[in-house]
Structure 1
Amino acid sequence: MTTKSNKGLILIFITVFTLPVILAKLALDNNWFTQAATNKGELLQPSLDMSNLVSEQDPKKWKLLYILPSQCDVSCENAIYSLTQLHSALGKEQDRAESVVIALADSDVKAINAMANNKHIRVLNSNQQSVNQVFKQVTTNGIFIADTLNNIILRYPTQTDPQEAVLHSRDILSDMRKVLKLSRIG
């Protein structure tokens, strides 16, 4: 073999191995593809610390959280219904999670009374100042997932259409099952 053909062969060899690396680097830098996300809710970064809303004696459980507004409209009713159904849908994992509705001084009294007989939802009384400390730059209109260390990590918007609420409940259930599967705590 001649020196020219050896140089050409070496050049082809180097190109075959370096071209994919260069293309991969360009694809990552320029966001040429959507990066994988396994959660269906909005990931809150940084997570919100809700320790001031709960007592230290509360059980270390995963929480499905909803803040009750002053007027419980259709989206509020759908959210409360979803919390009840989600807790039931967790099946054998029910004891590791709880549904919590935070009631404020101006929250809808009829909705609070309606939840009093619901064994799947715990009503937690709090004040607006404590809620504002937790949800500084995040809207409270939604269903949230909080971990066992009281960090709110995911948010799901509430829905006015009952069918959309059911579809979003499936997303919440999917994410809740994932975190319970991956977590050994709670």
Structure 2
Amino acid sequence: MNPSNSSDQPERPDPQASRPQVEPGPAAPQQRGQRRNLWPLWAVLAVTIAPVIASYAMYYGVKPEGRVNYGDFVEPQVTLTTVRVAPVITPRAESAFVAFQQGAANKKSLTQLGDWQGRWLMVRIGPAACDKACQQELYLMRQVRLTTGRERERVERLWILTDSGTPDPAVLAEHEGLWVIRLMPQTKSEALIDNWFSVAAQSAARNAGASNIWIVDPLGNLMMRFPDSPDPNGMKKDLNRLLKASRIG
């Protein structure tokens, strides 16, 4: 007789039989319902945050192979929010910050570059004397901004002076909306940025292939520099790409 088939073998107790059965409490379905109700909130957050993450991944992190930018990225990143400046020429129109200097109810002092946060900045850095190359750069800044159409309200133009001079009014007459500001003496903690900025203003003469036109992002980070004698089509493509990818300014 096969012992495995013997009916004399005692039955083993079922370990589950001795365990008490616990019925789910009334709160369990309610908790599951609450979790389900949070899904719309997470979906809204994902839709809101995704464009910001995508734009920064594109321009500060992931750079897909074969992707071509006309301007050169500034690496490592330089934050300019605390660089102290003073307005020299305030535009009368074509700027979201005009009211800050004209006695409006929301008047605000513009004393550092961080006060222009929230907009993309096209910046020219250099002395007040404006030769043909300078005039061409100011012209390109104006025209490239105009090509963005209604998106131009997201873009400001700044001419940062590195000396004590004053630009020729005849030059400025052609560039309504252009802020002319001057670098001010920096505190000790800002001296490194001030020195970097001053050197950058003159580096075009020493580094072949570089212009004095830069892009500052809405968070106050210097992020891009255009080549010497910049091509307006290349500038336009870069600026439109930034505006399209970003939702932060």
Flag whether TM exceeds 0.5 (same fold).
Answer: yes
Task: Classify the secondary structure of the residue corresponding to 1:80.
Answer: helix
In the TM superposition, what are the counterparts of 1:77-116 in structure 2 within 5 Å?
77-107=135-165, 109-110=167-168, 114-115=171-172
- The change in CA–CA distance for 1:144 and 1:117 in structure 2 (over 3 A counts) is same
Q: What is the Cα deviation at residue 121 of structure 1?
A: 1.4
CA–CA distance in 2 between the matches of 1:55 and 1:70? 19
Partner amino acid for 2:218?
Answer: T
Q: Considering only aligned residues, what root-mean-square deviation do their CA atoms show, in Å?
A: 2.7
Which of residues 180, 204, 215 in structure 2 aligns to 1:145? 215
Query: Conserved in 1, the CA contact under 8 Å of 2:77 and 2:222?
Result: yes
Q: Equivalent residue for 1:182? A: 245
Q: What TM-score comes out, normalization by structure 2 length? A: 0.50
Count of matched residue pairs: 144
Which structure: larger Rg? Answer: 2
- The change in CA–CA distance for 1:131 and 1:86 in structure 2 (over 3 A counts) is farther
In the TM superposition, what are the counterparts of 1:28-177 in structure 2 within 5 Å?
35-51=65-81, 52-53=83-84, 54-107=112-165, 109-110=167-168, 114-115=171-172, 118-127=175-184, 131-134=194-197, 139=203, 141-159=211-229, 165=230, 168-177=231-240
- Which residues of structure 2 form unaligned runs of 5+? 1-64, 85-111, 187-192, 205-210
Q: What TM-score comes out, normalization by structure 1 length? A: 0.66
Larger helix share, 1 or 2: 1
Query: Conserved in 1, the CA contact under 8 Å of 2:128 and 2:161?
Result: no
Q: What is the Cα deviation at residue 128 of structure 1?
A: 7.3
Task: Classify the secondary structure of the residue corresponding to 2:124.
Answer: strand
Q: What is the Cα deviation at residue 113 of structure 1?
A: 5.9
